[in-house]
Amino acid sequence: METKPVEWVEGKVRLIDQTKLPHREVFLELGRYQEVVAAIKTMKVRGAPAIGIAAAYGLALGAQSIRAAGKETFLRRFRAMAQTFAATRPTAVNLFWAIERMKRAAASGDDPARIKEALIAEAKRIDAENEAANRTLGRLGAELIEDGSTILTHCNTGPLATGGYGTALGVIRAAHEQGKRVRVYAAETRPLLQGARLTTWELMRLGIPVTLISDTMCGYFMARCQINYAIVGADRIAANGDTANKIGTYPIAVLAMEHGVPFYVAAPTSTLDLSIPSGKEIPIEERRPEEVTHIRGVPIAPPGVAAANPAFDITPHYFISAIITEKGILYEPYQARLKKLGHSGEKEA
Ligand code: MRU
């Protein structure tokens, strides 16, 4: 059985604390919505789709504690909670998309008791639809992968990041499930090491051969023709196809173009934000400098040194060979083809 990174269990939000992996599997049972907010901020749960699912369950949880006789008072308090979730992490649009869905579900109910039930059902639906989308995009994307390939991936895009199956990692595992022999180079993903800690852990459990490399080794292996494809996930895809993903993705895309390696982005349509024209408008999260000056709490730089910590970078659309979604595989010109898909991620909470 696959570990569900976040789920609704007997009126609580249960999640695996990803900051403890791979050495300890610690499950948290959160009974207050503020604890879910904190878990997203501190990246106990992380990855664009998983953050959206956690916020949806967190809002369902928070709604249960609202004491209001009438719908208007209920909705006012619910919207305030939604605002708290929207302020956790700015880049992954799946968060805002899920919050919008929950707000719509709340607004369409009749009275607080029914709305509370409807919100639990809506969060479960978001979770289930997301996993189904990942399975579909995985299967579609696997058609691009030839037997005997070596694939470079960055950050973590497996079940932990996505609520189920995976996006970029979903493509890789679908190819593996189809009987293709695939091997993976997992880039460690400084500063928080999602590649080293989480991607290797997931791939090893799936029985897919994986080699851990530092982020600085990507060019070395491409120059030696040891990588056939680079596949990554996405936190937000703008209307022109520009894509925000974990810091370190953009240099991989540039290297891939230089070495003639196809560079694929795999993401469900809940990651699209067609309301913004390009990557320039995507807000980039800046995190604490200590994440760079320390590794797992151990200082690696002189005390007091200045450190920058943008958590994501933007890969311009012209570096992307294809965008793999559950509704199909898209090629340039992305602008027109993304528009046809029709979904626009919601930004406001
Ligand atoms: O900061 P994180 O760990 O939440 O960032 C995660 C990523 O950048 C993933 O690559 C992205 O969310 C795609 S996951 C399907």
Q: Which two tokens stand for residue 87?
A: 């302020």
Helix H or strand E encompassing 134: helix 112-142
Amino acid at 304: G
Q: How far is CA 216 from CA 80, 122, 190, 249, 345, in A?
A: 43, 42, 10, 12, 33
Q: What is the pTM of this model?
A: 0.96
Give the residue, out of 155, 202, 215, with the most ligand 1 atoms within 8 A of its beta carbon, to mutate for a pocket test: 155
Q: Which two tokens stand for residue 97?
A: 């998309």
Alpha carbons 254 and 248: distance in angstroms, whole number: 11
Instruction: Quickly list H helices, 65-90.
Output: 71-86
Q: Is 323 in contact with 263 (CB distance < 8 Å)?
A: no
Whether the CB of 243 sits within 6 Å of ligand 1: no
Report the SS3 class of residue 66: coil
pLDDT at 97 over 80: yes
Catalytic residues: 235
- Average pLDDT value for residue range 230-247: 98
pLDDT at 349 over 60: no
Sheet strands side by side (includes 243-246): 272-273, 236-238, 243-246, 312-315
Sign, Cα dihedral of 139, 152, 312, 20:
positive
Q: How far is CA 129 from CA 38, 49, 164, in A?
A: 25, 11, 10
pLDDT category at 348 given cuts 50, 70, 90 is very low
Helix H or strand E encompassing 328: strand 328-330
What does pLDDT average to over the chain? 96
Give the residue, out of 16, 21, 40, 46, with the most ligand 1 atoms within 8 A of its beta carbon, to mutate for a pocket test: 46
Whether the CB of 234 sits within 6 Å of ligand 1: yes
pLDDT digit string, tens, across residues 165-219: 999 999 999 999 999 999 999 999 999 999 999 999 999 999 999 999 999 999 9
pLDDT of residue 342: 66
Instruction: Quickly list H helices, 143-167.
Output: 159-162
Q: Which two tokens stand for residue 57?
A: 């369950």
pLDDT at 346 over 90: no
Alpha carbons 159 and 3: distance in angstroms, whole number: 8
Q: How close is the Cα of 340 to the center of ligand 1, in Å? A: 25
Q: How many helices (H) and strands (E) does the chain have?
A: 13, 16
Question: Whose alpha carbon is nearest atom 5 of ligand 1?
Answer: 47
Q: Is 66 in contact with 180 (CB distance < 8 Å)?
A: no
Alpha carbons 331 and 278: distance in angstroms, whole number: 16
Report the SS3 class of residue 324: strand
pLDDT category at 3 given cuts 50, 70, 90 is confident
Taking the CA of residue 312 as reference, the ligand 1 atom at the shortest distance is: 8
Q: How close is the Cα of 49 to the center of ligand 1, in Å? A: 8
CB neighbourhood size of 179 (10 A): 7
